[in-house]
């Protein structure tokens, strides 16, 4: 029953997202990557929950206290930035980023894999080019502190480094998965 449910779920996902037909890594490598994905998603969810608690604290302080807590708005903004930074790689890997899907469903599996390699290589190239500038930007925050939290802005600006580093790693992973899928589909077509 559980395997039937999984098969139906996979079929429904493929019908909604045609690029999910490109197979992901399996075995030990797939488990390690899945574990890393879960870690990043757990951190992103924790940031989201903390945002909700911070905003709720801000609302309660405005309603029930004679003063409002000033640092809550700033903390929620920084948590939102890190939530996005920590989840951007997993979003890319799961093909959940915003895209226009006009022709994806018309592609054969090998062309879907080639399209994934193209998209991931473009994203990876962009991340590779921007990453040194993101590091320079983060270093600019070493001499600044945030207005209300008095936290070094280096930690806040470092979110750009995290974003582009994760994009680079996950785009390389997507390129490798796409190339492996292209090789497997071409090998399966050659065997009669």
Q: Are 92 and 41 in contact (CB under 8 A)?
A: no
pLDDT tens track for 62-96: 999 888 898 999 999 999 999 999 999 999 998 88
At residue 185 the predicted structure's pLDDT band, cuts being 50, 70 and 90, is: low
pLDDT tens track for 140-164: 998 999 999 999 999 999 999 999 9
Give the predicted TM-score (pTM) of the model. Answer: 0.84
Is 90 exceeded by the pLDDT of residue 176?
yes
Indicate the average pLDDT of the chain: 89
């Amino acid at each position: 029953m559980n395997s039937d449910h999984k098969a139906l779920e996979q079929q429904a996902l493929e019908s909604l997202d045609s690029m999910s037909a490109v197979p992901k890594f399996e075995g030990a490598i797939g488990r390690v990557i899945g574990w890393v994905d879960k870690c990043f998603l757990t951190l992103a969810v924790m940031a989201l929950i903390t945002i909700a608690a911070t905003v709720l604290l801000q609302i309660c302080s405005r309603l029930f206290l004679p003063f409002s807590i000033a640092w809550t708005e700033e903390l929620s903004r920084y948590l939102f930035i890190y939530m996005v930074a920590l989840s951007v790689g997993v979003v890319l890997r799961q093909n959940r980023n915003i895209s226009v899907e006009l022709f994806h469903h018309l592609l054969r599996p090998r062309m879907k894999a080639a399209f994934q390699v193209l998209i991931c290589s473009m994203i990876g190239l962009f991340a590779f080019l921007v990453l040194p500038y993101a590091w320079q930007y983060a270093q600019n925050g070493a001499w600044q502190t945030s207005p209300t939290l008095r936290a070094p802005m280096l930690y806040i600006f470092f979110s750009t480094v995290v974003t582009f580093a994760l994009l680079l790693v996950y785009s390389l992973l997507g390129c490798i998965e796409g190339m492996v899928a292209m090789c497997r589909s071409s090998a399966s077509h050659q065997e009669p």
